[in-house]
Structure 1
Amino acid sequence: MELRIDTLACGYRRRPVIRNLTVAPLAQGKVVALLGPNAAGKSTLLKGLAGLLPATGSARLGETDLIGLAPRARAKLLGFMPQVIPDGVELTVFESLIASLQAIGAVNGAQAADRAAAALSRIDILPLAMRKLSDLSGGQKQLVSFAQAIAGNPALLCLDEPTSALDPRHQLSVMARARQLAAEGALVIIVLHDLALAARWADEILVLKDGALYAQGAPAAVIDSRMLAEVYSVDGHAERNAAGHLTVHLNGAVL
């Protein structure tokens, strides 16, 4: 099953952001990093796929077009992790996962509890289960949001900056979990600002600039000095390190 995005447009009522976006098919079992500078349309694209912003065009996951799909039906196929969990939520972590599962009608009460516990265990945050969301740090909330997104075992997982509030250890842990989910068959699309994480962990890169597709392909083919200059206005390059991993070196801003 593939995700095929064709002439997709989405944005806000008075400010369209993504216009006529078409990308080559994205296969399940892959980690796709969505890159681009601030305001390039990365979060807007994920929100459009998730049904959180109005969208037109086509985004077909297998035979199902996500655009216009009923919210509950879409949520069974697509797990979405926002940048932040809203403040003031007095549910416990465990209750929040059960609520997210019940909202999509994925399982009944007993099964929801089992699946919620499994998701928390998978992200290594089961000890947080009885803590209130309002008492957690930003990084802990981010890990809970990740657990909420994967609890329903979606075929398509959209993660919006899942590592932005995390320390290096937890950044690597989240990326390793994303790779594991892809190995189990999910298509994982991750918005990242950290080019080093994208280069190290992604199978494929999508680069957006001004709401349009700038480049698509393997990390080594996409992350180069020209892209860094034209998209990010920085002087830099990518190269393989001694372990064979692609690394990104930034020297300074292009004035």
Structure 2
Amino acid sequence: MSTAQTQLTGLFDLTGTTAVVTGARRGIGLAIAEALANAGADIIGVSASMEPDGGDVARRVQATGRTFTAMQVDFADRTAVLDLAGRLESMGVDILVNNAGTIERAPAAEHPLELWDRVVEVNLSSQFVLTQAVGRSMMARGGGKIIFTASLLSFQGGINVPGYTASKSAIAGLAKALANEWTAAGVNVNAIAPGYIATDNTQALQDDPERSRSILDRIPAGRWGNAGDLGGAAVFLASRASDYVSGVVLPVDGGWLGR
């Protein structure tokens, strides 16, 4: 490998870092955890349904030679999230990926308020609580990387998902607000906006032939995304390669927003 290639590869090397990935048990979170581990990071995986031994995500991370620590936390439980925040604040976290999220589908006029409250708590409020604590620790040490999972609905309105749209629009704003305050302290704050990714959250759309076809017709890439498509963007935003990138909401959408 040439010197230039070695230098370029080194920009994406996460060896010696610790990354927290929330919502890591499956889907996008699992794929991001695996990608960060492949780049050299040790992983703390958090999920409301995380198995004590870490399950599949632990096996995938450990197969890369990195360590995995499993934590089970319900992000709808403010007390549990505050406890997690306190634990992580003292652990020297280098990378925080705020990926945990939920979605509830019901027309806005009939959308139950308890569903609204739960979605906003999980997708927005819990993420601020966690990021506030970890961000303080990062600023005290002079550096860190924070990545939120936003959405295409950070830019658009969606249908029958008012709580999800509101929370993901707010996540885009939160990433920019924190970047304004924390970048000078060496903490980069950004977000990834996944397009239509074939996960549990989009299963209802995948199963609707008319909606699925209308979605595919608009994606220049001509396919639904898969969770692994998010890995490269996450490694970039977690690495030294993005040291001058902050306050960005990066779409990974097969070209959807450019259509």
TM-score, normalised relative to structure 1: 0.35
- Using CA pairs below 8 Å that are at least 6 residues apart, which structure has the higher relative contact order? 1
Larger helix proportion, structure 1 or 2?
2
Larger strand proportion, structure 1 or 2?
1
